[in-house]
Structure formats: structure tokens, C-alpha cells
Chain A
Amino acid sequence: MLDTVLMRIDDRLIHGQVITGWLRQTGANRIIIVDDLVAKDQFSLSLFKMASPPGVSVEAYTVADAVKLLTDPAAPDEKVIVLAKSPVAPLAMVNQGVKVKLLNVGGMGAKPGRKPYYRNISASPEELDMLREIKAKGIPVEFRIVPDDSPKMLD
């Protein structure tokens, strides 16, 4: 079964050196983007592949397909980083049996309905509730942009 060493929320998904730091920190070589829109958008997926370091595979799945992949006992014991743009997909995955050790929130931009929460991360009340639901399942939820930052835990 695939080992989700990190599940990360970042609405920019893959950008710059940020993902390189997390790949190094976790030892993962495979990135799985879980987003119903990106899964159907070849152009975006190609861009994200170009933005990733060489030798790292990048795939995009709908929530439904990601759940199948991440709960499949026949899948190899590979370390993967799962990326999502907001708490919606992580909560759905966790509710459908996907196991994850840590939920990292690394980027959520300003939008109507959202208020600044911590540094440059903004969230709506509904999104904070979703994060708390995930935390209530025993999954630590932290706010941290790059591995060297000190994490702020969700209260």
C-alpha cells in the first residue's frame, strides 16, 4: 500500500523550491495531486511536471480515484506526497479510509469568505472546521511553508 508520508494543502500546488524541500525531508519520489479539476487538465498537469525536480513522478487524480489508489493493499510500498488545494479533498480522503501521518497546511490565499489565520494562510470558518474534523481523527494538523520553519499546530 502506498505510504502517504505527507499530505499538504497548498493552493499553488507545486511551485519553486518549496516542493523540493518536502521531497528531501520525507524521502518521497512521487507526488499525487488530488483535485477534480487538475485531474482533467492536461496542460496544468504538464506544467506541474515541468516544475518538479527530475526523477520525481507527478500524477493527478480525482478524489474518488485517489481514494482507490491510496487504499489499495496491492499498491507498492512507495512513499508519496499527496497535494491538495484546500481542506475539501483531504477531509474526503480521510473519511474514506486514506491513512495519513500528518496534514501540513502550507498555503491558502485570500478569497471572499476567508480571513487571515496565520502568516499568509487564510481560511474560512467552514475550512477551519474541516481542519478540526481531520485533527479530531487523530491526525496532527500543522501550518508550515517549508520544512525548516517551526510548525504552528491547529488550535
Chain B
Amino acid sequence: MVHVMVMGHGGLPAGIESASAMILGAQENFHVVSLLPEDTPEAFTERVEGVLGTIGPDEEVLFLVDVKGGTPSNVAARFVNSRRRCVTGANLPMVLDVLLNRSSGATVSELVKGCVDAGSAGVLDFSAEIDEMRSKMG
């Protein structure tokens, strides 16, 4: 199973983890690495290396990072290779999509494509949809 590593600022990674567990139950091969306010980039990099050290080098890993251009994404970039891929803009629809699809044996590349679509599709003007629904109800 592809390992998932959620990386981001402050409480976001742990928040995504607890939210996912509420919806889909506790997950295995699921790691979070948080950038704390007092961290240097080097300290954060060491923690990422520590987690990757517990994962075999032949395993596939999907980094889900909160925002492109932040320190977590700049650090994740260094670890990207053919088996370790990275998607930014991590949100709950994206993470749930990955967790639902990886148990069927999807490769990391397949998961990347699906979760970019799921993460993007989850962003919409819901109130506009509600307005339309109400107008159809008459």
C-alpha cells in the first residue's frame, strides 16, 4: 500500500489526520509531519528524513502538502523521485480520495491523478448550488 505523508504548517497535518480518522477510521501507513513556528527548515527536513527512514526505500510514498511555495513544500521537493510523488493544496476531499483508492492497489501515479481531480472538484460555490436547488424546488 502506498504510504501517505501529510506535510504542512502548524496543526493542519494533525487536523487532516483526525478528520480522516473520523470519516474512514484510523489509517495505517499514514504519517504527518508538521512545521512548527520555531522550526528551521533543517529541523523540519530532519523530521521528514526520520519518517522516511521508517519506510523502505522501495515503497511508494505520496506527499500531500498544504500549500505550494511554503517551507513544507520546499522541503518535500528534495525527496521527490520516481517512487515518491508530491501533490500540493492538500485538503480533506483530496486526502479521503487517496485513502479510499490506495487499498485497491493503486500505484502512486494513479493516486496522484485521482487526488488532484478530487481535491479540485471539492472546491466549489456550494451556496450557488443550494440556490439552484431551491429554485428548482419551486
The residues of A with any CB-CB pair to B shorter than 8 Å are 11-12, 14-17, 43, 47-48, 50-52, 109-111, 116, 119-120, 122
Q: Does B43 contact A (CB under 8 A)?
A: yes
Across the interface, which residues of A come within 8 angstroms of B40, CB to CB? 11-12, 109-111
Q: Does B69 contact A (CB under 8 A)?
A: yes
Inter-subunit contact A120/B68 (CB<8 Å): no
6 tightest A-B contacts by CB? A109-B40, A51-B69, A120-B37, A16-B70, A110-B38, A12-B71
Inter-subunit contact B38/A15 (CB<8 Å): no
Across the interface, which residues of B come within 8 angstroms of A51, CB to CB? 68-70, 73-74
Tell me the chain B residues, 29-70 only, with Cβ under 8 Å from chain A: 37-41, 43, 67-70
Nearest-neighbour CB distance to chain B for A79, whole angstroms, equals 22
Q: Does B21 contact A (CB under 8 A)?
A: no
Q: Does B136 contact A (CB under 8 A)?
A: no
Inter-subunit contact A43/B39 (CB<8 Å): no
Tell me the chain B residues, 58-115 only, with Cβ under 8 Å from chain A: 67-71, 73-74, 77-78
Complex CA gap A126/B40 in Å reads 18
Inter-subunit contact A12/B43 (CB<8 Å): no
Residue of chain A at shortest CB distance from B39 = A109
Complex CA gap A12/B9 in Å reads 13
Inter-subunit contact B43/A109 (CB<8 Å): yes
